[in-house]
Chain A
């Protein structure tokens, strides 16, 4: 049976046929039904319908629990009528105790499943594809589990906090939870926002379909032309670290960073573009991350929806926890404002980063990766004033291009070190790479032509370099405003030259087939 990935011809043909049927639908409801059918078809060929049963069970659990919470809050609203705001506070607290049971039950089912699967992978439990084969020490890994569990927990929590409207139509909830463009790698959707859009799916718009398709092809370019050329080379190097050293290792790390950016952001372009053609706006996951001036800013630009999820559902609830606040209050009295401020940021930040590491993988390498980012960001937060004063003391012009470039290179290095921690799939990965990096220089590979004998010959290296240059220019343009709107204002001929070049570059230079074994998107594995 063929496997459907976003960069496969199978997906493209499916998507075009799906879109044609979808655009023929006269009203939002039939459009939504077509999307739901598309979700099932996509899941069947991308992850297997059997595995989809987990998602369906989750959707039923979420549906009934949110409806129950809504009913409890409706009773509160009735009782609260006529009371002053102050009188409403204790009444609401008593009702929240009842809804909390629903929230805890939902999280227990959803998070419990995710933890069981993650633990099962760590302990090498046998993976099965059918529910009837499930038993102790066997796991089923549904496609997109890490993504739809987080979105589902977010929706449950938002209903508990009375921040989200409860969906009454089960099919709309199921459509949102299984929304095929976002099921494999996110973005981690807020179901209430997505369901609102699904209820009001707009009719055909030439501009929107055109923009969506442009973005999809830009994503194909990033993934199939650039990432899929680099990934096999860097994977080969990191799986045999001891055979490479010096410049080889430095280039492999740079290549690895470029590949993961092209792979993940390329996938997001395909996903957001596909959703855009349907009139659905998903949350952006990238905003020129390597233009960030600090580690914290980097994570506000890279995998944005995961960072936002952790901020809203882990960081803030911990930081706002009354017991935690009392504790930081005591510290404030004893050690002063600054100590309390650092503590109130550091503790939740470290918890968030350890969990972010474990979300990516359950090995020691990802735990170390979480610690690494946690410590970096805590240092930036705790010593913000001191760090801000450093350029002044060194008489550096912080507004100059040189200083901005330095900040960007620093961000790149931060991220590259993070990648080195997980590159070889072992806890000591970063140390192995660093040792090899400084063991010997091997500068000769830059001049004697051997640089092109690692799996990327001159022609392919030129394709990658040109591709990266295009992405870099687009990123610069995007940081100053919408690139597609700018292109829209270009003369017709020039516009079509760009579209044609984009499509043809994917058709001619795209990497197809399984020979490279690079077809799958990296973040699909989480």
Chain B
């Protein structure tokens, strides 16, 4: 699943290296617009609805955290 998520994200955000950091939100790599874009792309890919309370910096700080989050809903 991680590979598939990486593929979708690199298609949508080729300028961001998602494996470069464990603090993607905290270090400012991802802003709220990008987080919304990521959720939108991955929700469409996996056909899931992510509840709003899951949108926390911790869930988007690394590719592993994003993978773990979507694994819960797929």
| A162 B40 Cβ-Cβ under 8 A | no
Q: Which chain A residues lie closer than 8 Å to B36 at the CB level?
A: 316, 319-320, 344-345
Pick out which of these stretches binds chain B: A62-70, A194-202, A279-287, A325-333: A325-333
Residue of B nearest to A308 (CB): B32
What sequence of 0s and 1s flags, for each residue 34-47 of chain B, a beta carbon within 8 Å of any chain A beta carbon? 00110111011000
Complex CA gap A161/B39 in Å reads 18
Residue of A nearest to B36 (CB): A319
| B43 A162 Cβ-Cβ under 8 A | no
Pick out which of these stretches binds chain B: A85-93, A180-188, A470-478: A85-93
How many A residues face the partner with a CB closer than 8 A? Answer: 26
| B50 A320 Cβ-Cβ under 8 A | yes
Selected from A92, A161, A329, A337, the residue in CB contact (under 8 A) with B52 is A161
Asked if B56 lies at the interface with its beta carbon under 8 angstroms from chain A, I say yes
Selected from B12, B72, B73, the residue in CB contact (under 8 A) with A337 is B12
Asked if A179 lies at the interface with its beta carbon under 8 angstroms from chain B, I say no
Q: Which chain B residues lie closer than 8 Å to A525 at the CB level?
A: none
On whether A93 and B51 interact (CB within 8 A), knowing A163-B56, A381-B33, the answer reads yes
B49 to chain A, nearest CB (A): 4
What sequence of 0s and 1s flags, for each residue 46-87 of chain A, a beta carbon within 8 Å of any chain B beta carbon? 000000000000000000000000000000000000000110
Complex CA gap A96/B56 in Å reads 18
Asked if A360 lies at the interface with its beta carbon under 8 angstroms from chain B, I say no
Asked if A340 lies at the interface with its beta carbon under 8 angstroms from chain B, I say yes
Residue of B nearest to A348 (CB): B36
Q: Which chain B residues lie closer than 8 Å to A329 at the CB level?
A: 40, 43-44
Asked if A317 lies at the interface with its beta carbon under 8 angstroms from chain B, I say yes
A515 to chain B, nearest CB (A): 46
Complex CA gap A348/B72 in Å reads 27
Asked if A322 lies at the interface with its beta carbon under 8 angstroms from chain B, I say yes
Complex CA gap A96/B50 in Å reads 14
Q: Which chain A residues lie closer than 8 Å to B55 at the CB level?
A: 316, 320
Asked if B11 lies at the interface with its beta carbon under 8 angstroms from chain A, I say yes
B54 to chain A, nearest CB (A): 9
* CB neighbors of B among A316-363 (8 A): 316-317, 319-320, 322, 325, 328-329, 332, 337, 340-341, 344-345
Residue of B nearest to A88 (CB): B72
Selected from B12, B32, B37, B49, the residue in CB contact (under 8 A) with A322 is B49
Complex CA gap A311/B55 in Å reads 12
Asked if A315 lies at the interface with its beta carbon under 8 angstroms from chain B, I say yes
How many B residues face the partner with a CB closer than 8 A? Answer: 20
| B72 A344 Cβ-Cβ under 8 A | no
* CB neighbors of A among B18-74 (8 A): 32-33, 36-37, 39-41, 43-44, 49-53, 55-56, 72-73
A313 to chain B, nearest CB (A): 10
| A340 B40 Cβ-Cβ under 8 A | yes
Complex CA gap A2/B12 in Å reads 60
A206 to chain B, nearest CB (A): 33
A310 to chain B, nearest CB (A): 11
Residue of B nearest to A385 (CB): B15
Complex CA gap A322/B37 in Å reads 13
B56 to chain A, nearest CB (A): 7
| A325 B73 Cβ-Cβ under 8 A | no
| B53 A344 Cβ-Cβ under 8 A | no
Complex CA gap A316/B37 in Å reads 11
Complex CA gap A344/B37 in Å reads 7
Complex CA gap A322/B52 in Å reads 10
On whether A317 and B52 interact (CB within 8 A), knowing A85-B72, A89-B73, A345-B33, the answer reads yes
| B32 A316 Cβ-Cβ under 8 A | yes
Residue among A311, A316, A381 with the most chain B CB within 10 A? Answer: A316
Q: Which chain A residues lie closer than 8 Å to B51 at the CB level?
A: 92-93, 96
On whether A162 and B37 interact (CB within 8 A), knowing A89-B73, A325-B44, A332-B44, the answer reads no
Q: Which chain B residues lie closer than 8 Å to A162 at the CB level?
A: 53
Complex CA gap A162/B72 in Å reads 17
| A341 B37 Cβ-Cβ under 8 A | yes
Q: Which chain B residues lie closer than 8 Å to A340 at the CB level?
A: 40
| A344 B52 Cβ-Cβ under 8 A | no
Q: Which chain B residues lie closer than 8 Å to A320 at the CB level?
A: 36, 39, 50, 52, 55
Residue among B11, B51, B56 with the most chain A CB within 10 A? Answer: B51
Q: Which chain A residues lie closer than 8 Å to B11 at the CB level?
A: 337
| A89 B37 Cβ-Cβ under 8 A | no
Selected from B33, B39, B56, the residue in CB contact (under 8 A) with A325 is B39
A510 to chain B, nearest CB (A): 40
Residue of B nearest to A93 (CB): B51
Q: Which chain B residues lie closer than 8 Å to A93 at the CB level?
A: 51
| B32 A344 Cβ-Cβ under 8 A | no
Name A residues whose Cβ lies closer than 8 Å to a Cβ of B: 85-86, 89, 92-93, 96, 161-163, 311, 315-317, 319-320, 322, 325, 328-329, 332, 337, 340-341, 344-345, 381
17 examples of A-B residue contacts, CB within 8 angstroms: A89-B73, A93-B51, A162-B53, A316-B32, A320-B36, A320-B50, A320-B55, A322-B43, A325-B39, A325-B49, A329-B43, A337-B41, A340-B40, A341-B12, A341-B37, A344-B36, A344-B37
A-B contacts besides A315-B32, A329-B40, A344-B37, 18 pairs, CB < 8 Å: A85-B72, A92-B51, A93-B51, A311-B32, A316-B32, A316-B52, A316-B55, A317-B52, A320-B36, A320-B52, A322-B43, A332-B40, A332-B41, A337-B41, A345-B33, A345-B36, A345-B37, A381-B33
Q: Ordered nearest first, which 5 A-B pairs have the shortest CB separation?
A: A161-B53, A329-B44, A319-B36, A322-B49, A320-B52
